Chain A
Amino acid sequence: MSPTDEQHREAGVDLLDARVPAAETLPPLARLTRPFRTRAALGLQAAPAPALVFVPAGFVLGPRALGALSDEALAFLDIAVSVALAALGIFIGLALDVRHRADRRLLAAASAEALVTLGVVAGAMLFLVGRWRLPLDVPPLIAVLTLGVCAAASAASAGHDQSDPVKPLATRIADLDDVLPILVGAYVLGLLRAADPAAAATLALATAATGAAVGAAGWLLFEDARGAPERGVFVLGAVVLLGGSAAYTGQSALFAGMAAGLLWRLAPGGADRIVREDLRRIQHPLVVLLLLVAGASLVPSRVALWLLAPIALFRLVGKLLGGWAASRLAPGKAAPADLGAYLIPPGVIGIGFALAFHQFHPSPTGTAILTATALASLVGELLAVAALAELRRS
């Protein structure tokens, strides 16, 4: 069943969508226009590049433009952001299957790609931050690691183009290349709370333990529920508890969610299927909310503008180099440049992590990192359109 069929089964055919051909037969520019269609624009359906619509929309609605999303409202939405991050982490954990050798090779390839991108961006930014003497209110290492984590994730999951054999591999790598940034991100948030590296690692482990405990509780309950409404309460409660406990302790909701998702994936029974089905209903609204909040939290500043261009540039370099590294490790044959091009779209994980960092460190540096990451994501989406158009032509 294709994703479109699945969406129609869930919610019926959209009148407007029915007039537009499916994503894979659209030219690359459709990546830009698809998010504007009715259900996608309402956040009820997946769109290839939702950040392009919802981050600017959030900025327009935010306190620095129309003021519909005031600072007070944004403070109230903090919890929804943590829940959205936990939900995203769960999906990543559910996609993480390391039981077969081929899957482990894919994970290694994806992690190598993410590590190269993270290393290129963090290394370049460490050099530039020192060179430019940017006024940062966190240790430079934490700031550049955060930027690296935000840049390392990618999302190559638009459509199922059967004409290019690299596409399915790129999609799978894009699903798995979030794992390493999430692990590093959990450690960075630990460093933010406890300057001691060992204490930071302990905090990250505690986050994983929390995720596993909630995951275990969910695994015990989901199949034991008396009817769909009670099961819905358990699933929702597990996701909210993952996000809520991470927010309360200042830890990574993405990591806690990933730990729970992995447990559900590996544990016997149908917990992973239940969670995937139940969360699909709220996944897109939560992503939209996260992007709107990110957009509303943007504050254009000198530091953010200085960070923007190098992040966008070094992320592109990192992805192309990472594509090369991944093509060496991944099963099957893929042209390194093609794989790198497919991995350029940044998706929402990077913005989500920047938002989490901003939540726990709402300083000018936290805001500048969020602003630069969100704007670099928009640049990344536009670059992806150009790169994919070139790829189609060749």
Chain B
Amino acid sequence: MRRALAFSLVLGVAYASRALGGDPVPLRGTGLALGLALIAAALVGGFFERFGLPRISGYLLFGLACGPYLGDIITRSMARQLQLVNGLAIALIAFVAGLELNFARLRPRLRAMAEMGGVALGLLYCGLFAACWLAWPWLPVAPEATGLARVVLAALLATVAASFSPTVTIAVIAESRARGPLSELVLTIVVLADLVLILFFTLVMQALRWALGQAPAGDVSLFVRLSWEIAGSLAFGAILGAAFALYLRYVGRELTVVLLGLCAALSAVGAQLHFEPLLAALAAGLVVENVAPPRGDALKEAVEQGALPVLVVFFVAVGTSLRLDAIGVIGVTACLLALVRAALLREGTRLGARAARLDPALGELSWMGLVAQAGVTLGLAALVAEEFPEWGVPLQTLVVLLNTLHVLAGPALFRLALARAGEVGRMDEGPAEREAPAAV
């Protein structure tokens, strides 16, 4: 009751401000949108949690309901301003992902995980490519393309559609306080697979330029750029991670502020130097966790303090950007593609678990953790639309709608899988309790 009343008050303040504010200067709406997002979305997230659903779904639905395509309390310009936090959020989420990947703990299962991930990703990619190539004349993206162009275009759509969401995966694990074989397996697959898919995307884009006659044969600039982006990102992140580990060990004060500063640097400075913030932040987290692991709970507390507001705003921003208006145009195509992807994921993880001789229960449940898509997918689609506006924009619309379906269903499915595996809440247990086997 208290929460419902507070929710109404906050919405009332937002409505009244919108009515009083008229047409304010650009950027003036940022604070209103941020404040509304922080309180109201956190309340909706808490409401979802009461029914066993992930809080993230609540944040997303709140963004969708209040965003420019439905309630319009958060206008289009406010929604754009909310995206300012995206870089920081992605860096923070990837940093937390790095902190969760302890190679010493994973080593005994790393090979099996890579094997299973390879089979699942391979089947997913090949299946999506075949489906896209066969259905190309009926897809609303350059249906006239034939021959090599059709092959490369299908490969491009398959690459973008196959991608996963480390952000959603990590956020669901963090908020469910989950720990166990399923969390570790899904996180490892998602992170490694996204790394592979980003590489693959860059190669397919170059192949596309060749196929469409927009790049000279033998162009090596791509490989130089790719090396700079990947190796440079990893080195940049590792250096900042090492500096943070030293700070943590020898100073260790004001950790929340310093952690957010680190993520801002990884995101902003990294972007200036054309590094991939996701990779850089992941490398920073890996260095902190694996080279100089923190003692005590200071870092954990700092992450908890700093991460929640950033995550809430990030997922509300994602929610406001979901394109409901596109459903009428290409809704059926997107739904079919989503069904094909889900079926391929399910079969792929089942086969992968069998090939890697992993617990069959892991194979049954892990596909549910791989459904979600978010920032990376949207980013790749935006790159295509920017370079090839003629057919790239319809492709982006299709991908955005696909992303909408996956980002709404993904967190709920993953949370359900974690609950079935008995891993929810195990992050808070002591080492002795953690030794007890989970349900899978």
Q: Which of B6, B28, B38, B256 contacts A220 (CB 8 A)?
A: B6
B52 within 8 A of A: no
Is the CB–CB distance between A234 and B34 below 8 Å?
Answer: no
Residues from chain A with Cβ under 8 Å of B24 in the complex: 247-250
Q: Which of A203, A213, A228, A240 contacts B305 (CB 8 A)?
A: A228
The minimal Cβ–Cβ distance linking B16 to chain A, given in whole angstroms, is 7
A226 with B33: in contact, given A221-B2, A233-B38 (CB under 8 Å)?
A: no
A244 within 8 A of B: yes
Is the CB–CB distance between A229 and B2 below 8 Å?
Answer: no
A11 with B253: in contact, given A248-B21, A249-B20 (CB under 8 Å)?
A: yes
Whole-angstrom CA separation of A234 from B254 in the bound complex: 20
Is the CB–CB distance between B32 and A244 below 8 Å?
Answer: yes
Size of interface on A: residues with Cβ below 8 Å to B: 43
Is the CB–CB distance between A249 and B17 below 8 Å?
Answer: yes
Is the CB–CB distance between B257 and A285 below 8 Å?
Answer: yes
B18 closest partner in A (C-beta): A248
Q: Report the stretch among A72-80, A94-102, A335-343 that lies at the interface.
A: A72-80
A241 with B305: in contact, given A44-B254, A220-B3, A249-B20 (CB under 8 Å)?
A: no
Q: Which of B18, B20, B254, B308 contacts A206 (CB 8 A)?
A: B20
Is the CB–CB distance between A75 and B27 below 8 Å?
Answer: yes
Chain B 12-26 against A: per-residue CB contact (8 Å), 1 yes, 0 no? 111011101100100
**Among A232, A244, A285, residue most surrounded by chain B Cβ atoms (within 10 Å):** A244
Chain B 70-97 against A: per-residue CB contact (8 Å), 1 yes, 0 no? 0000000000000010000000000000
Is the CB–CB distance between A217 and B39 below 8 Å?
Answer: yes
Chain A 79-112 against B: per-residue CB contact (8 Å), 1 yes, 0 no? 1001100000000000000000000000000000
B5 within 8 A of A: yes
B381 within 8 A of A: no
Chain A 239-261 against B: per-residue CB contact (8 Å), 1 yes, 0 no? 11111110111100000000000
Is the CB–CB distance between B13 and A233 below 8 Å?
Answer: no
Name B's interface SS.
helix
Whole-angstrom CA separation of A224 from B320 in the bound complex: 28
Is the CB–CB distance between B39 and A234 below 8 Å?
Answer: yes
A79 with B10: in contact, given A11-B254, A217-B39, A228-B305 (CB under 8 Å)?
A: no
Size of interface on B: residues with Cβ below 8 Å to A: 42
Whole-angstrom CA separation of A240 from B24 in the bound complex: 17
Is the CB–CB distance between B13 and A230 below 8 Å?
Answer: no
Residues from chain B with Cβ under 8 Å of A220 in the complex: 2-3, 5-6, 9
**Among B31, B43, B254, residue most surrounded by chain A Cβ atoms (within 10 Å):** B31
Is the CB–CB distance between B36 and A241 below 8 Å?
Answer: yes
Is the CB–CB distance between A233 and B254 below 8 Å?
Answer: no
Whole-angstrom CA separation of A242 from B10 in the bound complex: 10
B304 within 8 A of A: yes
A79 with B27: in contact, given A226-B46, A233-B308 (CB under 8 Å)?
A: yes
Is the CB–CB distance between A243 and B9 below 8 Å?
Answer: no
Is the CB–CB distance between B13 and A210 below 8 Å?
Answer: yes
A253 closest partner in B (C-beta): B31
Is the CB–CB distance between B17 and A233 below 8 Å?
Answer: no
Is the CB–CB distance between B31 and A82 below 8 Å?
Answer: yes
Whole-angstrom CA separation of A76 from B309 in the bound complex: 19
Residues from chain B with Cβ under 8 Å of A213 in the complex: 9, 12-13
Residues from chain B with Cβ under 8 Å of A226 in the complex: 46
Is the CB–CB distance between B309 and A78 below 8 Å?
Answer: no
Is the CB–CB distance between B13 and A221 below 8 Å?
Answer: no
Residues from chain B with Cβ under 8 Å of A206 in the complex: 16, 20
The minimal Cβ–Cβ distance linking B346 to chain A, given in whole angstroms, is 34
Is the CB–CB distance between B42 and A248 below 8 Å?
Answer: no
A237 within 8 A of B: yes
A285 closest partner in B (C-beta): B257
Residues from chain B with Cβ under 8 Å of A11 in the complex: 253-254
A227 closest partner in B (C-beta): B304
Is the CB–CB distance between B38 and A247 below 8 Å?
Answer: no
A-B contact number at CB 8 A: 139
A362 closest partner in B (C-beta): B25
B17 closest partner in A (C-beta): A245
The minimal Cβ–Cβ distance linking A300 to chain B, given in whole angstroms, is 25
Residues from chain A with Cβ under 8 Å of B17 in the complex: 210, 244-245, 248-249
A76 closest partner in B (C-beta): B27
Is the CB–CB distance between B38 and A250 below 8 Å?
Answer: no
The minimal Cβ–Cβ distance linking B15 to chain A, given in whole angstroms, is 10
Residues from chain B with Cβ under 8 Å of A245 in the complex: 13-14, 16-17, 31-32, 35
Whole-angstrom CA separation of A78 from B24 in the bound complex: 13
Residues 167 to 217 of chain A near chain B (Cβ within 8 Å): 203, 206, 210, 213-214, 216-217
Is the CB–CB distance between A241 and B35 below 8 Å?
Answer: yes
Is the CB–CB distance between B3 and A229 below 8 Å?
Answer: no
Residues from chain B with Cβ under 8 Å of A83 in the complex: 31
Residues from chain B with Cβ under 8 Å of A221 in the complex: 2-3, 6, 39, 43
Residues from chain B with Cβ under 8 Å of A79 in the complex: 27-28, 30-31, 34
Residues from chain A with Cβ under 8 Å of B319 in the complex: none
A238 within 8 A of B: yes
Residues from chain B with Cβ under 8 Å of A224 in the complex: 2-3
A12 within 8 A of B: yes
Is the CB–CB distance between A237 and B38 below 8 Å?
Answer: yes
Whole-angstrom CA separation of A289 from B403 in the bound complex: 38
The minimal Cβ–Cβ distance linking B81 to chain A, given in whole angstroms, is 9
Residues from chain B with Cβ under 8 Å of A76 in the complex: 27, 84
Is the CB–CB distance between B308 and A229 below 8 Å?
Answer: yes
A245 closest partner in B (C-beta): B17
Is the CB–CB distance between A240 and B16 below 8 Å?
Answer: no
Beyond known contacts A203-B20, A217-B10: 12 more, CB 8 A cutoff: A75-B27, A213-B12, A214-B10, A220-B3, A221-B2, A228-B304, A230-B42, A234-B39, A236-B38, A237-B39, A240-B38, A250-B21
Q: Which B residues form the contact surface with A (CB < 8 A)?
A: 2-3, 5-6, 9-10, 12-14, 16-18, 20-21, 24, 27-39, 42-43, 46, 84, 253-254, 256-257, 304-305, 307-309, 312
> Considering the complex of A and B, which 5 residue pairs feature the smallest CB-CB distances, nearest first?
A244-B31, A241-B35, A237-B38, A237-B39, A244-B32
A–B pairs, 10, beta carbons within 8 Å:
A11-B254, A213-B9, A221-B43, A233-B308, A234-B38, A237-B34, A241-B31, A245-B32, A247-B24, A250-B24
